[in-house]
Amino acid sequence: MTAVTPIRAVEGPAADTRNGGRALGQTPSATTPSTPAGYSAGPPSLRPVDEAAEVRAITRGTVQASMEVLAGIRPIHQLARRLDPRCLAALQHRAALIRRELTRTGNPALARLHRNSMVRSVRVCEVADGIYEASAVVVDDVRARAVAVRLEHSKQVWRIVELVIG
């Protein structure tokens, strides 16, 4: 499942392109150039509609991908851009332990662990500027589990610095 962040074009702090780039209630004047409705004078910049919605979508996608890594159906290197190196190493270690225990015991219940995982809900909370903490509920074939995530915004990208899977 791919997470999609809604974006919209904006010209300024409170621009509304449906009204020709003017604020609501403002009429065209000699100081405001007239442009056709829906068009702007310059190229619009793109930004997320809501930062919390972006964090929620990133969390949902990353948690889903992490569960697929633990199930053995996704390679871990696909999460390298999103996860902190320490989190990536911990997730890789946990996946290796699961695979080793499965081959050692051949337990069919262990084989169903993490299979068909689905993220049911995600909650986010901003703890500081550019830092969010999120929790997710994941249901698989065997049980439901909680996942806690801490995201930090650095270098124009969100990076997960803590990932705890219950």
Residue with the bigger pLDDT between 43 and 28: it is 43
Across the range 60-69, mean pLDDT stands at 95
Across the range 135-164, mean pLDDT stands at 93
The pLDDT value given to residue 114 = 77
Q: Which of 35-44, 91-100, 138-147, 153-162 has the lowest mean pLDDT?
A: 35-44
Residue 73 pLDDT greater than 70, yes or no? yes
Averaged pLDDT of the chain:
81
Residue 4 pLDDT greater than 50, yes or no? yes
Percent of the chain's residues with pLDDT above 90: 51
The pLDDT value given to residue 101 = 87
What does the domain layout of the chain look like in residue ranges? 1-48, 50-165
The pLDDT value given to residue 142 = 82
Domain 50-165, CATH = 3.10.450.50
The pLDDT value given to residue 38 = 58
Render pLDDT for 12-34 as a digit per residue (tens, 0 to 9).
454 444 455 545 555 555 455 55
Render pLDDT for 105-132 as a digit per residue (tens, 0 to 9).
877 777 777 788 999 999 999 999 999 9
Confidence of residue 7 (pLDDT cuts 50, 70, 90): low
The full DSSP string for the chain is ------EEEESSTT--GGGTTSPTTPPP-SSS----TT--SSPPEEEES-HHHHHHHHHHHHHHHHHHHHHTSS-GGGGTTTB-HHHHHHHHHHHHHHHHHHHHH--HHHHHTTTT-EEEEEEEEEEETTEEEEEEEEE-SS-EEEEEEEEEEETTEEEEEEEEE-
The pLDDT value given to residue 84 = 94
